[in-house]
Chains A and B, each alone.
Chain A
Amino acid sequence: MEIRGIERKLLYELKSLKVAELEQLSKTLNEDIASVMRASKELENKGLVKLHEEWKRVITTTEKGRKALEEGFPEKLLVSCILRSETNELEKILNLVGREASIALGWAIRRGWVKIEERNGKKTVALSVEDPRKLLDEETEEEKLLKFVSKSEEVSLDEIRSKTSETTLNNLKLRGLISEYKKRTWYVEITEEGQKLVERGIPESENGLSEITPYVIKSGVWKKIGFKKYKVEASGPKIYPGKRHPLREIIDRIRRIFLEMGFKEARGPIVESSFWCFDALFQPQDHPARELADTFYLKGLESKLPERDLVEKVRKTHENGWITGSRGWRYKWKEEIAKKSVLRTHTTAVSARYLQKVSPPSKVFSIGKVYRNEKTDWRRLHEFFQVEGIVVDEEATFRDLLGYLSTFFRKLGFEKIRFRPAYFPYTEISVEPEVYVKERDTWLELGGAGIFRPEVTEPFGIDCPVLAWGLGLERPIMLILGMRDIRDFYKNDLNWIRELPYRILRGV
C-alpha cells in the first residue's frame, strides 16, 4: 500500500485530533479543499479514515451589512445630522441624511432617539435623548453582532445564539444585513487501522527513475534521483513458450523408448497399395476389413505390384498355402484387387515392406498416421497414430513378445498390464495387451500383437519368428493427459495446449 503526499500529512494530523472538519484540515495542512477531499477519499478506500457529512445552519454578512459597517448605521447618521444642523425642519434634515433617510428615521423613532412635532403646519424633528454624543460613541447591540459576524466568512447559528438576543438577530435579518443558510460539512475521522499505521510510522514512499535509458546510465542522473521501486511480488503479463503438440510430445517419448530398446526407425507411405496393406499380410481379399465401409479407397489411383516372384508366392499362399504348410484361404486370388490404392489402415504395412530387405537379428519400429473409414466421435477418429514394431530373430519367442510389450508400457507409465488371446489374420499366436485404468476400474485394450504367421513371412524367404505389434497411440495418450474426447487432439485449442505443463507431458 502506497501512501504519499497529502494523504500522509492528513494521517499524521489526525493522529491526535482523531476527527476533524475537512475545511479545517484544509487550512491547517495548507492545501486546497479539493486536494484534501481527494486524499481523504483515497485513504477511505484504503480503510485508514472515514468520511462523514453533517448539515448546519450558518449566518453570513450581506453586502448591505458590510456597507452598514463601513458607513455606519443610518439611524446614527440621522442623530449626527440633527446635532450638526442649524434647522430642525424634518424635510431638510432628511435631505442631509440622503438615500436611507426613511429607514434611519424609522429605526431612530423606534429606539426613542428622536420625535416628530408639527408646528405651523411644518414638521420638525427633535432629539429626545439626554446625551446624544454619548449615544453616537456607544455601539448598539446590533452593531456589535454585525461586527462579530463580519469577522469570519460565516458563523454557525448555534454560536450566535449563545452571544446575543433573538431580537437583535431577527432585526439584523429583517434589515437584510445578515443572511442565514444551510451548509454541508465534511468530517474526516481516523480509523483504528489508520491509527495503528501512523503510530507505527508510514513507510517513506519513493520517487525516482522508472525507465533506465542509455542517457540515464551515461549521465549519472540516477546518482541524484535514484530508482523507483517496483511491486516485484506482482505477476508479469502472460507469455508462452513454443512447444511440441501434446500428441507429438508423447509420440517422441514412445520413439525414445523404442530407440532405447535398440530398435531401428522406419518410415512408409500413407498411401499404400492393397498388396502391402493386406495381401502381403495374408488378409484374404474378401476380408471385411478390406471393404469400402472400413477402408478409404482412392479415386483413379492404381498401384504397381512388386517383383513377379514375390507376388506369385503371395498368390499361392492365399490360394492353397504354397509351401508354407498351410491350407491357405482356398479362393482365387486376383491381382487387380491387390493393385487398389488405399490410405493405409495400419502401420503393419510398413513392417510388411521391411520384411523384403530384413536379415535377422533385426528390430524395427515406425510411428505414423493410419486411416479408417469411420465416423469421428468422442472415442473414434478417422485418422490416428500407430506405433508398429517387429523383431526378426531366430531365437525370438512368445515370451520375448510379452517382454517387449511389458517394458514398453511400463516405460510409458502403465503399472498393471495383462495379455489376453486375440485374433488378427496375420499373427498367430495373437495377443491383445491391456492396461489397468484405476480411475475407471477397467482394463483398456491398447492394440494388437503377435507372431507373424508363416504364411506372411515365408514368401519373403524368412523362416524365423517375427514378433510384431501395432498399437493405437491416441487412446493411451488420452489416459496420460487425462482427456475425455479424442477429437481434442486435433482441435488445437491454444488455451489447452499452452496451459499443459511439461510435468504432465514428460511424465515427471
Chain B
Amino acid sequence: MATLKFSYSDLIELVGEEIPISEVVESLTMMGVPVEEVKGDEIEVEVFPNRPDLLSVEGIARALKGFLGIETGLPSFRVTSGEIEVFVGDSVKEIRPYISCGVIKGVDLGREETIVSLMQMQEKLHETIGRRRRKASIGIYDLDKISPPIYYKAVGPEEVRFVPLDSFEEMCPREIIESHPKGIEYGWILSNLDKYPLLVDSNGTVLSMPPIINSEETKVEENTKNLFVDVTGTHEETVSQVLNIVLTSIAERGGVIESVIVRDWRGERTSPDLSPLKINLRKSYVEKLLGIELKAGEIKSLLEKMRLGVSDDLSVLVPAYRVDVLHEIDLVEEIAIAYNYMKFEAKLPEKMTLGEEDRIESFLDLVRDVLIGLGYQEVMTFSLTNEEIVFNKCMAPKVKYIEIMNPKTEKYRIIRPWIYPGLIKVLSNNKSSTFPQMIFEVGEVAYPDEAEETGARIEIHLCAAVTHPKAGYTEIRSVLDVLIREFSVELQVRPRDFAAFIPGRSGEIIHKERQVGFIGEVHPEVLVLMGLENPVALFELNLSEIFEESL
C-alpha cells in the first residue's frame, strides 16, 4: 500500500483556492484518495496502485481542481521540440533495454516543498509502478551541468569511475554495487550481469548508473532551472508512462517541457509522447452499468471533472499520465466517482432467486449440532502450523505434508495434516479453566497429491477431545458411537498402536477397509511435552470419506 504525505498549505497553493481542510479530506476520500491521517498541516493519503499519477502533491492538486470544478477538462502541457539527442547502444539490449527522456526548462526549485515532493514522487514511483526500480527507474539531473548528446550504454565493472550521489570519492560500478548503500539495496537488479547500464554525456561526465545511483556532478540543486529526466527499465510502456507522470507533475508548478530525440537500434523517435488516448464511450453502456439516466451533457461535464477531454459525441481523450485507463469500463468508473458514490440510490432487484445451502457445508453443520448436543464446545485453530508441534510434541502419525516455500515465521511453516495437535494445544492453554473440558473442531487439512488439480488433496477432519481427572477411552468412544448412529455410517475400530496414544488403548477407525481416523487415550509423554496435567482422550475422523454415505 502506497501512502503519500504532503502539506495542506502546499496543496492549497497549487489548487489556487482557499478550501477548508475538512472539505479537502472529504473530497479526497470521495475522489478515490482515502485520507489516512491528518496531523496539523500534514495530510497522509493512500494512493491506489492504478493511479501512480497521484503519487505527488502536484498530481493530487491537478485531480482535486477538477473534482471541485476549479479547473476541468484535459490539462494542456506545452511541449516544444528540442535538439538534444540520446544515443542508445546495443550493449544495453540484454541488460536494461528501454529508455525515455525529456527536458523541462524554467522550473523553480527554490521552495523546500518542491524538492521534497520531487524526491518523494521518485521514491514512490520506484516502489510501485517501477516494481522497486527493476521495471522502471527515474533519474533527474541539472541540464546545465550536462553537455549533450547523451549516451546510454553498458560498461564493465571497472570501466569508469565517478562520484556517486552523497559520496566524496570516485567509485567504479563494482565498488558501488558492493559498498554504496544504494548499491547494496538495489544491486540485486543487476546481479549475474558482467556489464552495467550507464548514462554519460559527450564529455564523458557520468549522469547515472541506472537503476542504482546518480552522479554527484550532475545533481539537482535549489538554483537549478533546467532539468533533464530519464527513465530506464525492462518494460517499454511502463518506462514512457513513468516519464510522462514525472514531467507532467513537475510542469504543474510551471516550466516548459522540451522533447529530446532518442536513437536506438530500431531507429529514431521523439520523447516524451504526451498524446492522449482516445476512447469512444457509449452512453447506453454507462447508464446500463450505473443504473441511472444521464444526459450526454451531464456525462461530458462529469468526465471533465476527472480531467478528461470530451467531445459532444462522447469521444474521450485520456491524458498521457493516466496509465490506469484500459477499457471503456474505466471511464464508467470515472463518471461514478465524479457523480459521487454517496449520491447513488441503493436498490434491491425484484428478480427472484432461490437460496441454497452447499451440501457439504450443511453436513458439517449437522456434525457440529451433534457434538454440541453432547456438550462439546467448538474451537477454531489455525490451519498453518509447524513440524515441531505436530510430529515432535504431539507425535502425529507420519504422513507426507505440504510445506510453505516462504514462511514469515517458524510457527507457521506447514499446512496441518492432522487437527488434533491444535486441540491438544487448546487444552494446554486452558489449564486454568473449569473441568471437564470437552472440545471439537471441524476443519480442513491438506496433503500433497499429484493426481489433484492443484497438487493438493484437501480433506475435512473432525477431532473431538475430552479432558478431566478421570477422562478415558470409553468416554470418547461413546461420542464416536453417537456419530456412527446419527449418520448411519459403517465404522469399526481396530486395535492399533500409535506413538501418540497409550499402547493397547488406541485403534484405527475403519470405513470400508480404509483407515479414516484414529481414537485413543493420549500418551502421558505427549501430555508432559504439551504441559498437560490431566488425561486426554480423543479421536480424529476424516469426514470427507464418509460424507457421501452419511447424507
Please indicate the chain B residues that have their CB under 8 angstroms from the CB of A373 in the complex.
406-408
Q: Is the CB of A454 within 8 A of B333?
A: no
CA distance A245 to B384 in the complex (A): 19
CA distance A420 to B10 in the complex (A): 25
Q: Is the CB of A326 within 8 A of B326?
A: yes
Is there a chain A Cβ closer than 8 Å to B228's Cβ?
no
Is there a chain B Cβ closer than 8 Å to A110's Cβ?
no
Please indicate the chain A residues that have their CB under 8 angstroms from the CB of B383 in the complex.
270, 369, 383
Please indicate the chain B residues that have their CB under 8 angstroms from the CB of A331 in the complex.
235
A372 to chain B, nearest CB (A): 10
Closest chain A residue to B456 by CB distance?
A271
Q: Is the CB of A400 within 8 A of B355?
A: no
Is there a chain A Cβ closer than 8 Å to B402's Cβ?
yes
A248 to chain B, nearest CB (A): 6
Interface flags for A396-439 (1: CB within 8 Å of B; 0: not) read: 11111011111100000000001111110100111110000000
Assuming the contacts A260-B355, A343-B415, asked whether A428 and B292 have C-beta atoms less than 8 A apart, the reply is no
Q: Is the CB of B403 within 8 A of A420?
A: no
27 interchain pairs, CB-CB under 8 A: A240-B377, A240-B434, A241-B375, A252-B365, A261-B355, A262-B352, A267-B358, A267-B361, A271-B402, A299-B403, A300-B403, A301-B448, A303-B453, A304-B453, A341-B454, A373-B408, A400-B349, A402-B346, A421-B30, A421-B336, A421-B341, A422-B48, A454-B329, A492-B380, A492-B381, A492-B430, A498-B434
Q: Is the CB of A298 within 8 A of B382?
A: no
Number of B residues with CB within 8 Å of any CB on chain A: 90
Please indicate the chain A residues that have their CB under 8 angstroms from the CB of B356 in the complex.
259, 264-265
CA distance A226 to B409 in the complex (A): 68
CA distance A323 to B374 in the complex (A): 58
Is there a chain B Cβ closer than 8 Å to A112's Cβ?
no
Q: Is the CB of B368 within 8 A of A244?
A: yes
B256 to chain A, nearest CB (A): 30
Q: Is the CB of B444 within 8 A of A369?
A: yes
CA distance A266 to B362 in the complex (A): 11
Is there a chain B Cβ closer than 8 Å to A497's Cβ?
yes
Beta-carbon contacts under 8 Å, A437-471 to B: 451, 453-455, 465
Please indicate the chain B residues that have their CB under 8 angstroms from the CB of A244 in the complex.
368, 372, 378
Please indicate the chain A residues that have their CB under 8 angstroms from the CB of B337 in the complex.
421
6 other contacts beyond A366-B358, A398-B290, A430-B333, with CB at 8 A cut-off?
A: A242-B376, A270-B458, A304-B454, A399-B347, A400-B348, A420-B341
A5 to chain B, nearest CB (A): 37
A464 to chain B, nearest CB (A): 10
Closest chain A residue to B381 by CB distance?
A490
Q: Is the CB of A490 within 8 A of B382?
A: yes
Residues of B within 8 A of A (CB): 29-32, 34, 48-51, 128, 131, 135, 235, 237, 288-292, 324, 326-330, 332-333, 336-337, 341-342, 344-349, 351-358, 360-361, 365, 368, 371-384, 402-409, 412, 415, 426, 429-430, 432-434, 437-439, 444, 446, 448, 453-456, 458
Residues of A within 8 A of B (CB): 238, 240-245, 247-248, 252, 255, 258-267, 269-273, 286, 288, 292-293, 296-304, 321, 324-328, 330-331, 341, 343, 361-363, 366, 369, 371, 373-376, 382-383, 393, 395-400, 402-407, 418-423, 425, 428-432, 451, 453-455, 465, 489-495, 497-498
A222 to chain B, nearest CB (A): 33
Please indicate the chain B residues that have their CB under 8 angstroms from the CB of A428 in the complex.
327, 329-330, 332-333
Q: Is the CB of A263 within 8 A of B353?
A: yes
CA distance A361 to B349 in the complex (A): 11
Q: Is the CB of A298 within 8 A of B437?
A: no
CA distance A247 to B412 in the complex (A): 21
Assuming the contacts A420-B341, A451-B289, asked whether A242 and B329 have C-beta atoms less than 8 A apart, the reply is no
B387 to chain A, nearest CB (A): 13
Q: Is the CB of B402 within 8 A of A492?
A: no
Q: Is the CB of A243 within 8 A of B415?
A: no
Q: Is the CB of A248 within 8 A of B378?
A: yes
A288 to chain B, nearest CB (A): 7
CA distance A303 to B457 in the complex (A): 12
Closest chain B residue to A296 by CB distance?
B404
Q: Is the CB of A399 within 8 A of B291?
A: yes
CA distance A366 to B373 in the complex (A): 27
Please indicate the chain B residues that have their CB under 8 angstroms from the CB of A400 in the complex.
291, 347-349
Given A262, A270, A304, which contacts B446 in the complex, CB threshold below 8 Å?
A: A270
CA distance A407 to B349 in the complex (A): 12
CA distance A407 to B51 in the complex (A): 31
Assuming the contacts A324-B327, A400-B349, asked whether A420 and B131 have C-beta atoms less than 8 A apart, the reply is no
Given A270, A429, A430, which contacts B289 in the complex, CB threshold below 8 Å?
A: A429
Assuming the contacts A242-B374, A492-B379, asked whether A269 and B458 have C-beta atoms less than 8 A apart, the reply is yes
Q: Is the CB of A403 within 8 A of B332?
A: no
Q: Is the CB of A383 within 8 A of B434?
A: no
Task: Give the one of A324, A343, A407, A453 with max B CB within 10 A.
Answer: A343
B416 to chain A, nearest CB (A): 11
Closest chain B residue to A295 by CB distance?
B406
Assuming the contacts A300-B448, A341-B456, A399-B345, asked whether A242 and B415 have C-beta atoms less than 8 A apart, the reply is no
Assuming the contacts A269-B454, A397-B289, A428-B330, asked whether A423 and B30 have C-beta atoms less than 8 A apart, the reply is no
Please indicate the chain A residues that have their CB under 8 angstroms from the CB of B354 in the complex.
262, 264
Given B353, B439, B458, which contacts A271 in the complex, CB threshold below 8 Å?
A: B458
B279 to chain A, nearest CB (A): 9
Please indicate the chain B residues that have their CB under 8 angstroms from the CB of A304 in the complex.
453-454
Closest chain A residue to B291 by CB distance?
A397
Assuming the contacts A286-B135, A328-B326, A361-B351, asked whether A303 and B454 have C-beta atoms less than 8 A apart, the reply is yes
Q: Is the CB of B355 within 8 A of A259?
A: yes
Task: Give the one of A240, A492, A498 with max B CB within 10 A.
Answer: A492
Please indicate the chain B residues that have their CB under 8 angstroms from the CB of A298 in the complex.
402-405, 415, 455-456
A227 to chain B, nearest CB (A): 30
Please indicate the chain A residues that have their CB under 8 angstroms from the CB of B455 in the complex.
271, 298, 300-303, 341
CA distance A267 to B460 in the complex (A): 12
CA distance A243 to B336 in the complex (A): 45
Please indicate the chain A residues that have their CB under 8 angstroms from the CB of B51 in the complex.
423
CA distance A419 to B429 in the complex (A): 41
Closest chain A residue to B49 by CB distance?
A423
A146 to chain B, nearest CB (A): 70
Closest chain A residue to B379 by CB distance?
A492
CA distance A303 to B377 in the complex (A): 37
Given B357, B429, B454, which contacts A301 in the complex, CB threshold below 8 Å?
A: B454
Chain A to chain B: the 5 pairs with minimum beta-carbon distance, closest first: A397-B291, A421-B32, A423-B48, A301-B455, A271-B456
Closest chain A residue to B287 by CB distance?
A397
A429 to chain B, nearest CB (A): 4
Please indicate the chain B residues that have their CB under 8 angstroms from the CB of A395 in the complex.
349, 351
Given A327, A397, A423, A492, which contacts B290 in the complex, CB threshold below 8 Å?
A: A397
Please indicate the chain A residues that have their CB under 8 angstroms from the CB of B324 in the complex.
423
Q: Is the CB of A454 within 8 A of B430?
A: no
Please indicate the chain B residues that have their CB under 8 angstroms from the CB of A430 in the complex.
333
Q: Is the CB of B342 within 8 A of A419?
A: yes
A437 to chain B, nearest CB (A): 16
Task: Give the one of A273, A321, A490 with max B CB within 10 A.
Answer: A490
Please indicate the chain B residues that have their CB under 8 angstroms from the CB of A296 in the complex.
404-407
Please indicate the chain A residues that have their CB under 8 angstroms from the CB of B458 in the complex.
269-271
Please indicate the chain B residues that have their CB under 8 angstroms from the CB of A267 in the complex.
358, 360-361
Assuming the contacts A263-B355, A271-B456, asked whether A292 and B289 have C-beta atoms less than 8 A apart, the reply is no
CA distance A402 to B453 in the complex (A): 36
Given A293, A431, A455, which contacts B327 in the complex, CB threshold below 8 Å?
A: A455
Please indicate the chain A residues that have their CB under 8 angstroms from the CB of B32 in the complex.
420-423
B429 to chain A, nearest CB (A): 7
Q: Is the CB of A420 within 8 A of B438?
A: no
Please indicate the chain B residues that have their CB under 8 angstroms from the CB of A258 in the complex.
355
CA distance A506 to B373 in the complex (A): 18
Closest chain B residue to A329 by CB distance?
B326
